[in-house]
Amino acid sequence: MQNKKPVALVWLRNDLRISDHESFTLASQSGAKLVAYFSFDPKLFELSPWGFSKTEAFRAQFLIETLVDLSSTLESLNISLIVEHRNPAKGLSHWVESLNVKTIFFQKEWTQEERNTEQQVRDAINPEVVFQSSYDQFLFHPEDIPFSINELPELFTQFRKQCEKMSSVRKILPKIAPLPKENLLAQTFKIPSLADLGLESKPKNPNTAFPFKGGSQEVKKRLNHYFWDTKKLSFYKQTRNGLIGVDYSSKLSSWLANGSISPREIYWEICAYEKEIKKNQSTYWLLFELIWRDYFKYISLKHQDSIFHLGGILKKNYHWENDRDKVESWIEGRTKEPFVNANMIELKKTGWMSNRGRQNVASYFAKELLLDWRIGAAYFESMLIDYDVHSNYGNWMYVAGVGNDPRDRKFNVRFQAERYDEGGKFQRLWNQKTLFE
């Protein structure tokens, strides 16, 4: 029969951690029995309108590893993680009924597909169930920034300077104490494999710049390595435009993207490093990048679905093409530019590309090939391990000249290759002739 004790359910999406997590904190304080829920929503593994799987094998594998890690951590705190591979509206409506769920806690999302999913869930569930959402993916909380969302500056520099001057980053939430053993459900749940999701496993490429696994334990190892063990953080500004190797950048974006770590946790770790080791331009520059990440989230919060429109947030009416052969040559690394090709082959083989590479291949796609930038953005969404909807579409709009770049720049790919790949080492590493298909 129905469990008589009320249950608080934490519905997880891109917030796959328990540390510094407002929904878990509030749910654990509610006095109710606590369970967590995650669904591998089949919609996320379908083909997009452009013909790409919305989530390809690299990010899916990282997500699976993240769920394995999170399930183990939650179990150690006597919290069950319900994992399913079905429409979350169907899944949640079932568990709300069978477990006597009274409150659903979740991270607030505002982009189109996430809003639609939330509405489906609300429509499927007894209206007496309380939904409690939190803005929990920002560095600067929306309540703490010095302007309303509608008055958000259209230039990043204005946003950054005002936030640095007038806002502060909130403290990390206290750790959640283990719950009583009886909080665990009797049932255990299987995390799907790539095959279950309809995807083929890809071998780890020995040349990958991102050889890491998913999960909060893994990102803590990465932080320790990059900050404390090697002190690479002290040189981040000089090395961040690198192309080869594990340590030219922090590589934290993939764990940030699915919420295995919060930006606040990284911020306070940087502060501790600056206090104990060194404060310099490099330590600041990682904060600078976290603020850029915030900015793209705020831009999408302000402009909503315009970030997915062809004219972008500027509503600019350029002539774009959608020549499939040109798109295919870009994807396969068969353009006339070896630097573009090397980066695209790296992405295809590993699910990773450097920041420098992304800017160049996106500029080439939009400004040289004059292709509909949304096709490139959709391909990145499919392939990138660290795909984040706000950063992806924000950056693509920026590079395509329909976003927040006041100068509407075009990258000189050959000059960039000479500057950042002097001697052509990166291009040789990913030259198609040297790779086994």
Q: Which CATH number characterizes residue 321's domain? A: 1.10.579.10
Give the H/E segment covering residue 11: strand 7-11
* Distance in angstroms between the alpha carbons of the first and the last residue of the chain: 55
Domain assignment present for residue 192? The answer is: no
Same domain, 399 and 280: no
Hey, what amino acid is at 66? T
Q: Are 21 and 216 in contact (CB under 8 A)?
A: no
Same domain, 406 and 323: yes
Domain assignment present for residue 416? The answer is: yes
Same domain, 61 and 83: yes
Same domain, 59 and 17: yes
Low-confidence ranges of the chain (pLDDT < 50): 1-3, 434-437
Q: Domain containing 234: what range? A: 217-304
Alpha-carbon torsion angle 102, 106, 111, 115, nearest 10: -10
Same domain, 314 and 293: no
Domain assignment present for residue 252? The answer is: yes
- Domain end residue (candidates: 288, 304, 320): 304
Q: Which CATH number characterizes residue 256's domain? A: 1.25.40.80
Domain assignment present for residue 143? The answer is: no
Residue 421's nearest CA partner among 432, 433, 413 is 413
Domain assignment present for residue 356? The answer is: yes
- Domain end residue (candidates: 255, 282, 304): 304
Note the pLDDT of residue 433: 53
Same domain, 19 and 107: yes
Same domain, 334 and 421: yes
Domain assignment present for residue 17? The answer is: yes
**Look-up of token digits 């499919």:** 382
Same domain, 282 and 314: no
Q: Which CATH number characterizes residue 61's domain? A: 3.40.50.620
Same domain, 108 and 226: no
Residue 290's nearest CA partner among 260, 273, 265 is 265
Q: How far apart are CA 298 and CA 270, in angstroms?
A: 23
Q: How far apart are CA 157 and CA 163, in angstroms?
A: 10
Same domain, 350 and 409: yes
Please state the separation of Cα 172 from the chain's center in Å.
20
Note the pLDDT of residue 432: 61
The domain tally of the chain equals 3
Would residue 203 be called left, alpha or beta, if left means φ above 0 and alpha means ψ between -120 and 50 degrees? beta
Q: How far apart are CA 124 and CA 91, in angstroms?
A: 10
pTM of the shown model: 0.96
DSSP-derived letter for residue 316 is: -
Same domain, 130 and 30: yes
Hey, what amino acid is at 186? A
Q: From residue 371, give the alpha-carbon distance in Å to each of 58, 250, 363, 375, 427.
A: 25, 31, 10, 8, 24
Q: Are 9 and 130 in contact (CB under 8 A)?
A: no
Domain assignment present for residue 234? The answer is: yes
Q: Which two tokens stand for residue 70?
A: 């999170």
Characterize 142-153 residue by residue with b for buried, 16 or more Cβ atoms within 10 angstroms of its Cβ, and e for exposed.
eeebeeeeeebb
- Domain end residue (candidates: 104, 136, 168): 136
Domain assignment present for residue 243? The answer is: yes
Same domain, 314 and 426: yes
Burial of 106 from C-beta contacts in 10 A (0-12 / 13-18 / 19+): buried
Note the pLDDT of residue 431: 83
Note the pLDDT of residue 231: 98
